[in-house]
Amino acid sequence: MHSDVWRNIRALRAVPTGQASTDVERWARFRAALRQSEELADAAAAAGYASNSLPLFYSVEQAGLAVASAWLTDDAKLEKMTSHGIGFKLDRDALNILHGTVGGKNGTFAAVCAAVGSPDLTGRAELGALWMANPDLCEVAIPVRYGQWRKPIQKVFGSRRPVDEMTSVPLDPNIQMTTTGGHVWLDASIPGVTVADIARETAHYPSLADATAMVQVFEGGVKGDIVARSGADAHGITFVPVGKPAPSQVTLTDYWRLEDSLFSVVENYPDTPTTEPHVYKVGYALPAVGGGPAPAPLMLWWALLLGLSSLVRYHPEQWTNAVDVDSSELAVSLQRVLDIAMDRVPQRLYQALIGKANLSSQ
């Protein structure tokens, strides 16, 4: 495979990161695992939709061995990376593969979660939930009849590079003050009429569990229990401002820290070149998965691909039927998931390998 990302990953084999740069045994495992990971990714790229999730999952898992070799400080956990740690279950007669579940403890998955600072899966998660919680798959719809799961709530922040409006000279965010109005906010496209309605929904988003909705102010300045709304998303659902209390005046650095607390993950906006000095940031409030905080995006991919590869291996008839565009309403969406995986998973692996994984703020 010859993408720029894979070239960058390949280059790390000679100059490993983290503890693999100083420990000979970790370095040996690091470079061998990355070599295998790239070859498996090549195999996935050459395969069709009926089978490519199988080598793709093993590509991710082998790269995970390298991530753990570099960044896992617990030697005992490193030694226990001899199994997946999570497994897939599907009722034998199930017609809807998205209700199959992934879960388990220990093993490689838990070790890599620890290495990148991600929450582990606390319980079993349906494939549909892993799919919809993944920020990289926000725009890949699941046909309604297959089930409905919550999506991330996102906010694009802008560049976060303050400059003087008159001189364009950069300002120091550690001393530059800003007025908050008493809260930090995000606009959420979630249904509901009252503050209680919104609270019931945000309870499913761990980073928003203690956030409240802005109420509408009526004539005469009277505040009620009806939430304020403005604008609308692509589905016609108007936005509700949801936020947490903040001091009335704080430095920009503290304001950004408070704002980040609304989100599970904050990362560079995908369409902004990393060389651009005004890099935009985007935050994602991820829904709970498997009864607890969602794993980081890389680990959401890992769990989803384990489930899809298990379908290929142990439920070939259900899987080939699901990706058959002549008979399956789900097929085009599943194929798009796998296409996106080929692009986004190597990028997330590279960030984890160099120690800049998009960590959860939970």
**In the predicted structure, residue 221 carries a pLDDT above the cut 70:** no
Name the nearest CA neighbour of 270 among 353, 333, 343: 343
Torsion angle of the four alpha carbons 300, 306, 312, 314, in this order, in degrees rounded to the nearest 10 = -140
3-state SS of 273-304 is CCCCCCCCEEEEECCCECCECCCCHHHHHHHH
Region of residue 269 (phi > 0: left; psi between -120 and 50: alpha; otherwise: beta):
beta
Q: What is the pLDDT of residue 281?
A: 87
Q: Does the pLDDT at position 277 exceed 60?
A: no
- Residue ranges per structural domain of the chain: 4-152+288-353, 153-285
Which pLDDT value is given to residue 222? 60
- Classify strands 222-227 and 215-218 as parallel, antiparallel or unpaired: antiparallel
Mean pLDDT for the chain? 91
For 282-314, b/e burial (b = at least 16 CB within 10 A) is: bbbbbbbbbeebbbbbbbbbbbbbbbbbbbbee
Question: Is 260 exposed, middle or buried, given 0-12, 13-18 or 19+ CB atoms closer than 10 A?
Answer: middle
Residue 100: pLDDT band with limits 50, 70, 90: very high
Q: What's this model's pTM, rounded to 2 decimal places?
A: 0.92
Of 287, 293, 147, 284, the closest CA to residue 204 belongs to 287
Read off the tokens for 243.
């936020």
Spatial separation of the C-alpha atoms in residues 149 and 127, rounded to whole Å: 10
Grade residue 362 by pLDDT with cuts at 50, 70 and 90: very low
* Distance from C-alpha of 57 to C-alpha of 36, rounded to nearest angstrom: 12
State mean pLDDT over 59-70.
Answer: 97
Segment holding 226, helix H or strand E: strand 222-227
Q: How confident is the model at residue 292 (pLDDT cuts 50, 70, 90)?
A: very high
What share of residues in the chain are helix, strand, coil (percent, to 5)?
40, 15, 40
What is the number of alpha carbons within 13 Å of residue 79 lying toward its C-beta?
3
pLDDT, mean of residues 141-161 = 91
> Predicted confidence band at 356 (pLDDT cuts at 50, 70, 90)?
confident
Q: Terminus-to-terminus CA distance in the chain, angstroms? A: 35
Residue 361 has pLDDT above 50, yes or no: no
Q: How confident is the model at residue 2 (pLDDT cuts 50, 70, 90)?
A: low
C-beta separation of 268 from 156 below 8 A: no
Determine which of 55-59, 265-269, 274-278, 314-318 has the lowest per-residue pLDDT on average: 274-278
Task: Please write the tens of the pLDDT for every residue from 88-97.
Answer: 999 876 779 9
Strand pairing report for 212-213 and 153-158: unpaired
The span from the CA of 101 to the CA of 22, in Å, is 39
**Nearest residue to 350 via CA among 13, 5, 116:** 5
